[in-house]
Amino acid sequence: MLKYILKRFLWMILTIWVIVTLTFFLMHAIPGDPLDMGDTGSSDAASANLAAYYNLDQPLGVQYVTYLKNVATFDFGPSMTSRSRDVNDMIESGFPASLQLGIASLVFSVISGVFLGVFAALRHNKMIDYITMIIAVIGISIPNFIQSMLFINYIAVNVDFFPIARWGTWQHVILPALALASGPMAIIARLTRSNMLEVLTQDYIRTAKAKGLTSFQIVVKHALRNALLPVVTIMGALTAAVLTGSFVIERIFSIPGIGQYFVNSISNRDYPMIMATTVIYSTILVVMMFIVDILYGLIDPRIKLHSKED
């Protein structure tokens, strides 16, 4: 087990290095100058001084080595759009908000998704099944920014309990978390339903029924455990996506999270911020996949945690 973990860890480092390297060369390959002052006018000397300040006047190879060092020490230096602030500060001050929102929506989407999925499977081809799946289809097909606007324009404006936007109390979390959760919830509900349907027809479930177990016991103890495996599989990517914030939701609800940086850093060509968001996202993703692999073993003892060579 320990050997397995160590091996996986080394692979994780290698994966992140590949991602960081690819991102570095890709971002330098796209046209556009991060220090362009655009339509306000400037002088060539001022642009050259700025380039020197950010070491952009050095050869790409040298910049690459500096970046690797920064990445290794998790110190990304000053942002190119907000020079007075270090990228680290910006991430640290924005991450808690994104994390709170992400966890709230993750918890909501998993609980309600699994619940709806199981419920639909148990009432297969009945009214409840159809209603649940209609909810799921709506959740997937209405983009969350539309939901957000509907929430603001029709719920928050009329119900004092819900703030329109901004951040600070637990009421502020509810509407954005719901908007963010509806997509993942729908995916989880559909996955759970189809797996449950499959599992429920298998022999061991019939055996359980024959033994006289209650349907609650059958579902929770026997069927769900197997049905959840595919759900767990997608949880890795889903968690990484949800925890790192959502540009659109955070913008519409004016939440001071880090979602904005994933998009703005690229349109501003803010190299240090692009690297930071890449490292954060890929680290969380890789770590989550690792956790998912460990979870497989816990949920399904048939899956052994060791590599083929062992």
Partner 1 sequence: MKKSKNLKWLLGTGLMATAMIATGCSGEEEASGDEEGNGEDTATEESGGEGNVLIYNSGNPTSLDPPIGNDEPSYAVLNNVMEGLTRLAKDEATPEPAMAEDWDVSDDGLTYTFYIREDANWSNGEPVTAEDFEFAFKRLANPETASPAAHHAYWIAGAEAFNEGEGSEDDVQVTAIDEKTLEVTLENPVDFFTSIVAMPQLFPVHKDTVESDDSWANNADTFVGNGPFVVSEWAADEYLLIEKNEDYWDADTVQLDGVEYVMIEDANTAYQLYGNDEIHMTGIPSDMAGELVGGPETIQYPRSGIEFQRFNVEMEPFQNRNIRAAFAKAINSQEIVDYITQENQPVMTGYVFDDFQHPNGSTYREEAGDLHEFDLEEAQELLELGMEEEGYDELPEVNLTYSTGDVNHNVAQAVQEMLQQNLGVEIGLENQEFAVFLDAQRELELQYSRSSFLGGYNDPMNYLDNFTTGNPMNRTGWSNEEYDQLVSDSLAETDPEARFDLMIEAEKVFMDDYVIVPLYYYNTTFVKKDNVEDVVRHPVGFVEFKWASME
* Minimum distance, C-beta of residue 2 to partner 1, in the bound complex (Å): 20
* Nearer of residues 70 and 268 to partner 1, judged by Cβ: 268
Site of interaction with partner 1 (CB under 8 A): 30-47, 49-50, 52-53, 74, 81-85, 89-90, 92-96, 99-100, 103-104, 107-108, 149, 152-153, 156-157, 164-170, 173-174, 243, 251-254, 256, 260, 267-269
* Minimum distance, C-beta of residue 168 to partner 1, in the bound complex (Å): 5
* Minimum distance, C-beta of residue 23 to partner 1, in the bound complex (Å): 17
* Minimum distance, C-beta of residue 123 to partner 1, in the bound complex (Å): 22
* Nearer of residues 110 and 196 to partner 1, judged by Cβ: 110
* Nearer of residues 26 and 157 to partner 1, judged by Cβ: 157
* Minimum distance, C-beta of residue 44 to partner 1, in the bound complex (Å): 6
* Nearer of residues 34 and 236 to partner 1, judged by Cβ: 34
* Minimum distance, C-beta of residue 90 to partner 1, in the bound complex (Å): 7
* Nearer of residues 164 and 295 to partner 1, judged by Cβ: 164
* Minimum distance, C-beta of residue 249 to partner 1, in the bound complex (Å): 10
* Nearer of residues 197 and 286 to partner 1, judged by Cβ: 286
Virtual torsion, Cα 57, 59, 61, 67, nearest 10 deg: -10
User: What is the full DSSP assignment across the chain?
Assistant: -HHHHHHHHHHHHHHHHHHHHHHHHHHHHSS--TT--GGG---HHHHHHHHHHTTTTS-HHHHHHHHHHHHHHT---B-SSSTTSBHHHHHHHHHHHHHHHHHHHHHHHHHHHHHHHHHHHHTTTSHHHHHHHHHHHHHHHS-HHHHHHHIIIIIITT-TTS-SS--SSTHHHHHHHHHHHHHHHHHHHHHHHHHHHHHHTSHHHHHHHHTT--HHHIIIIIIHHHHTHHHHHHHHHHHHHHHT--HHHHHHTT--SSHHHHHHHHHTT-HHHHHHHHHHHHHHHHHHHHHHHHHHHHH-TTS--S-TT-
* Nearer of residues 195 and 277 to partner 1, judged by Cβ: 277
